Amino acid sequence: MHKKQIIKNERIGEQYTYVKHPSGLDIYIWKMENYSTTHALFGTKYGSINTKFKTKDETDYITVPSGIAHYLEHKLFENEDCDVFSLYAKTGASANAYTTFDKTCYLFSCTDKTADSLKILLDFVQDPYFTDESVKKEQGIIGQEIRMYDDNAGWRVFFNMLQGLYHNHPVKIDIAGTVESIAEINPGLLYKCYNAFYNLNNMVLSIAGNIDEDEILEICDKHLKPNKNIELETAFEDEPENCAHAEMTGRLEIAMPLFNIGFKANPEKGIQAVRAEIETNFVLSLLADESSDFYKKLYDEGIINSSFSSEVFWGDGYFCSIFGGEARNPRLVLEKLKTEIERTKKEGLDEERFDIIKKSYYGSLIRDFNDAEAIATLMMNSGMEKLTAFDIIETVAAVTFNDVTARLKKQFNISNSSISIIEPLNKEGAE
């Protein structure tokens, strides 16, 4: 018998079920009556930044090559008998996987045969198969992928910015690693990382749709292999508060210069990180979204175009705010942005606009609760942080104008920023 914990939210009248499975796995199930689509994710808290780790029985940390988490994701789709996608073809499910900086997730969406697709998902992720021959073959495939992204201006401007912001944190390294780092990967290292990070105590199963909870749990009982909790620990080199470089530049075949401007801030964890993300998002909207005076002025003067945008980027050991887009003179954009930040710190943010943006933000979150994929992803992400799927909406509801004002002063130090610029090869697009 499973001990089910019902997680409710009175504010929006929704609930879902959490089960700590005997195998060690955290399972989240959200039943959506009358929905035709089901979305499931099986994820591990293992991303590209987790290159240094140990278990409770090990004295010293091991450091593995960059890109190995992404490499593992690729290899798990091949088992000894066949390709996993051919199995999903029989159930009609749409399957995929992704590796980010801090997680790897395997997923499927379907309209029927959910049970069969879930069995495939649980089985192949728990059944690694690596040989010298298959590992070498994958090195060529991923090497091509890395070289392709080296020529992608949007990708390069982003990672160059991260290299400008961070001295030591592995977030500055491409998720796929480098051609040199993946050349060091072998079956032994893959099994070492798999056994550490694909332990079910480090994993989450999240599923949303018109599903039968008891059927899902029955499948889990039959297909999950119990794991001993090895108490995995990850570690990072010390990261200074200041930026590594004020400016990073490169050249590629593009029509107009591309830029990312990053403002580095101290990282936070758990619910505090969620609060920091939400408050910083409000700051970004108030400072420079399409309805701000700053955006309109720079757009009218031709300094920026409609590609200009901003985002919050954070995870284990890193947190920054990013502005990016195309501009003939990116350094002028940086100068104007720093001036606007300092002006706003002195004169204050617009409280009336804050109220409007807060209602819009809250409304967009409410809409997400009507989408199986959005719900399953939210349960996955919050579950990995040991939070509930409702913590975000509760935090947004609780945020005040004073909170956002304080976040502006805390999070945006104009002397702690880095600009990354990709110039056109021919410089015709540059001023």
| Dihedral angle, C-alpha 148, 153, 157, 162, nearest 10 ° | -20
Please say whether the beta carbons of 250 and 423 come within 8 A: yes
Cα angle 78, 83, 89; round to 5: 140
* Residue 309: how many other CB atoms lie within 10 Å: 15
DSSP letter at 60? S
Q: CB-based contacts of 12: which residues, under 8 Å, 6+ apart?
A: 366, 369, 390, 393
H or E segment to which residue 135 belongs = helix 132-150
d(CA 401, CA 285): 13
* Residue 138: how many other CB atoms lie within 10 Å: 18
H or E segment to which residue 129 belongs = none
Instruction: Tell me, yes or no, if 73 is annotated catalytic.
Output: yes
d(CA 209, CA 191): 34
208-236 per-residue burial string, b: 16 or more CB within 10 A, e: under 16:
bbebebeebbebbeeebeebeebebebeb
Task: Give φ, ψ of 192 to 5 degrees.
Answer: -60, -50
Coil, strand, or helix at residue 67?
coil
* Residue 63: how many other CB atoms lie within 10 Å: 12
d(CA 41, CA 44): 10
DSSP letter at 78? B
33, 73, 241, 279: which is the annotated catalytic residue? 73
Q: Catalytic residue numbers?
A: 73
